[in-house]
Amino acid sequence: MTKRVVLLEEGTAEMKGLMGIKGAELAALLQAGWPVPAGFIVTKEGCRAFCTRLAHLSAEGTQEIGSAIQHLEQQSGKFFGDSLTPLLLAVRSSESSSRNTASHALLHVGLNDVTVEGLAKQTNDRQYALNCYRILLQDYGQLVYDIPYDLFEEKWEDISILDEAKLEFAIAEYKRLIEERGRHPFPQDVHLQLKEAMRAVFNETQGAAVLIQVMVNGERGDRSGFGTVYSRHPGTGERGMTGDYISTDASRRSNEGLDQLRNEESELYGLLQDACGYLESHTREVQEIQFVVDSGTLYLVEISEARLTSQATLRSTVDLVDEEVITKEDAILRIQPWHVTELLKASSTLSSELQLLLEWADEMKGLTILSNVDHPKDAVKARALGAEGIGLCRTEQLLLSASRFPFVQKMILADSEAERKRGLERLLPMQQADFEQLFEAMDGYPVTIRLLDPPLHELLPDIERLNERREQLALRKLEENNTEVQELEHVIHRVLELHEQYPLLGQQDCRLGTVFPEIYDMQLEAIFRAAVKGIRQGLWVRPEIMIPLVGHANELQVMRDLVDHVADQVLGEEKRHCLYRVGARIEVPRAALTAAPIARHADFFSFGTDELTQMTFGYSRHHTEKPFLHFIESQRSLPSNPFQVLDIDGVGQLVEMALLQGRIRKPHLKAGICGENAADPASIAFCHRIGLDYVSCLPEQVPLARIAAAQAALLAQKQYPNENRQDGDISTIA
């Protein structure tokens, strides 16, 4: 039968699953001869078995815990509940608290109206004993009955004054508050106290093992004190022990930090340094040690993995690799997403530690990390953050800027092809300049340019505003043959002609290029003109042209013929230096289901997971995101927002199916995803597993994606050690 109560001296470092992290580490320290207060662990199974539905300790539990307490009594020479020499206990979780949660603990368990007087005689300090009792009552009320600390503080006007009369009054008031709010009096039975403390800690930590230790006194007496040390600085990660120490010398209660301990108790200070080094070498983590000095004797009370800032995490991780405590692979696996995002928020540049970690990550990852850009300046930022090319340039963001949008509208509303071409001639040099800057920023790296893809209605003037303008002109009683009136009527007529009942399912993406081929002609001419200029300037230009919203192989074939035709016209003799690619944006389910015939005409697949998610689920990402998020959070109908974390079971299956079918037709077909969820670590792990070549994310997400891609590769190697992923230069295959 699995043990439900384990003495610390019986435990080992390998028993973390049974004893919890703290318990196992303290047990290992005790076994190695370090000074640790005696104690025992009540395991998860023990807590569940001992505390019944009515929260009473079972008879079996009473016996097992009673035996453990007797062992502590023998070691300490004190007795639990004794009126003369009371044994007091500290009850806390045996698991390390998370980054944003407090450590739940109850100290001085075993104090009551009788034993408090025994503690007063033991310490020859009744004021100290009463204050310990007051603290126990306050913490007990908060942890067991969730009574806010504020209510206790209302009973305690000036906490700086600790006379016996005031402490006795506070104790009486605290007990009254617990009985009123908790509907049960504070238990004078010390065994009931322990049971309630154990149950409360177990519940607060969602079922973690409970650590129970003998209380050691560092709060009073000569050569006594308490403090916390870190094996490295928790804020910066700097090497060397740091922390604080509060001496409780009656003549001068002070906080002079560790300097006082080093000067007055150099042997204990050295012992703490040795403990930090020992723990780091065994746990391979930066450690936090809470310690007590009791009359010149050091006790290591609690040890845990230190909670570090992002900066400290990265610096200490790099240093631990340098010291050969951990490997580069270990270093990459311990980096969390928030480490990277916090650092980048604090500074737009990469720290030396993050830069080094990213270099290590690049050596390990299989996926190529590209970036989505809306403007040439985004490309510069993406390269600075390590992007290996552009996976998606949204040309609509370039064309629909305030300075260019009027020209786009005028071109769309034109009555004739000749008039439309005149409008496009104004836009051509603007687009060419954009692409020239992109090719310059990404010299030698692929630049994937998505042709114009917004729905037609987004390019048209607002019909309601046009009608309002017509009403305003009517009020002015202008003649019908007035030029302004005629022009307005013409625009309204043209907008109504182009109006679509269901615009999101109408003329957009490659269908827009079919209806208005001159638009794509202009964009392609701008791309290839920019390519020619870049080549002649000595740049390695690698354009990859993405055809948006392909739903049928014939659509891609038509668009590919157009691309090749314009390329032949513009590139001329430079065509041999411009190995452009043409690919399909897979963002509707039909394209995923018919990937094999589409692959015949494609050099690459780009999975638009935002649109594919939208069309697969039937959610509108833009119009219902907030209600949707509220719905899934309140109803828990989905494990996560599929626009942020790829829906592997649904959308992911479409991606994997399309990839498989596409590569049956074209084995070296390049493929990747572009979407909001492209930087999510779980989504990146899925992309690595199914064999995609790249993910493309926002520039600021590139460092995070590089780390996540390396983690995905490392975890895959651990899970499938005999599988080798064949990696190549994804931009030269297909």
Is residue 474 pLDDT above 80, yes or no? Answer: no
Window from 68-82, 177-191, 481-495 with minimum mean pLDDT: 481-495
What's residue 99's pLDDT?
46
In a domain, 261, yes or no: yes
- How confident is the model at residue 224, as a pLDDT? 87
Mean pLDDT to the nearest integer, 493-510: 52
- 685: tokens are 């792990």
71 and 125 co-located in one domain:
yes
Flag whether the pTM goes above 0.75: yes
Shared-domain flag, residues 236 and 279: yes
Statement to judge: residues 93 and 166 lie in one domain = yes
State mean pLDDT over 430-453: 94
In this structure, of 135-139, 181-185, 247-251, 426-430, the range with the lowest mean pLDDT score is: 247-251
Helix (H) or strand (E) holding 656: helix 651-665
Q: What is the CATH number of the domain that holds 100?
A: 3.30.1490.20
Whole-number pLDDT of residue 730: 43
Amino acid 600: pLDDT: 96
Q: Residue 422: its pLDDT value, please?
A: 81
Q: Is residue 139 part of a domain?
A: yes
411 part of a folded domain? no
Task: Report, as an integer, the average pLDDT of 280-300.
Answer: 92
Q: Is residue 93 part of a domain?
A: yes
Q: Which of 253, 287, 305 is the last residue of a domain?
A: 305
Torsion of CA 717, 718, 722, 725, to 10 degrees: -10
Final residue of a structural domain among 247, 272, 305: 305
pLDDT top residue among 96 and 214: 214
Q: Which has more pLDDT, 669 or 427?
A: 669
Residue 201 and residue 75 share a domain: yes
Query: Reduced to 3 states, what is the DSSP secondary structure of residue 333?
Result: helix
Does 493 have pLDDT greater than 70?
Answer: no
Give the distance between the most distant pair of CA atoms in the chain.
110
| 89, 194 contact by CB (below 8 A) | yes
For residue 167, is pLDDT > 80?
Answer: yes
Q: Residue 132's pLDDT is what?
A: 93
**Average pLDDT in the 319-326 region?**
96
**141 and 20 in a common domain:** yes
Q: Are residues 56 and 84 in the same domain?
A: yes
Task: Verify that 50 and 198 share a domain, yes or no.
Answer: yes
Residue 505 lies in a domain: no
Least-confidence region, from 45-54, 124-133, 216-225, 596-605: 45-54
Mean pLDDT of 569-597: 94
Q: Where are the alpha helices (DSSP H) in 385-506?
A: 395-399, 405-412, 417-441, 463-475, 483-498
Mean of the per-residue pLDDT values of the chain: 85
Sheet architecture: strand order including 297-305: 239-247, 225-232, 287-294, 297-305
> Do 116 and 141 reside in the same domain of the chain?
yes
Share of the chain above pLDDT 70, in %: 83
Q: What is the rounded average pLDDT of the residues 37-51?
A: 84
Q: Are residues 255 and 108 in the same domain?
A: no
Residue 478 has pLDDT above 60, yes or no: no
Domain-embedded: residue 707: no
Q: How far apart are CA 492 and CA 480, in angstroms?
A: 15
Number of independent structural domains in the chain = 2
Best CA proximity match to 388, nearest among 679, 686, 699, 646:
699
Over residues 516-530, mean pLDDT? 90
Question: 292 with 160, same domain?
Answer: no
CATH number of 235's domain: 3.30.470.20
**Domain residue limits at 185:** 5-214
Residue 192 lies in a domain: yes
Least confident of 42-51, 365-374, 553-562, 687-696: 42-51
Q: Residue 504 — very low, low, confident or very high, per pLDDT cuts 50/70/90?
A: very low
Question: Which class for 14: exposed (0-12), middle (13-18), buried (19 or more C-beta within 10 A)?
Answer: exposed
In DSSP notation, 490-515 reads HHHHHHHHH--SSGGGSS-HHHHHHH
Token pair belonging to 489: 């009527």
| Residue whose token pair is 């033991």 | 122
Boundary residue ending a domain (257, 272, 305): 305
Q: Is 235 in the same domain as 210?
A: no
Task: For residue 291, name the pLDDT band (cuts at 50, 70, 90).
Answer: very high
One domain, residues 207 and 238: no
Residue type, 339: H
Residue 372 CB neighbours (<10 A): 24
- What pLDDT shows up at residue 731? 41
> Would 274 be classed as within a structural domain?
yes
Sign of the CA dihedral running 681, 686, 688, 694: negative
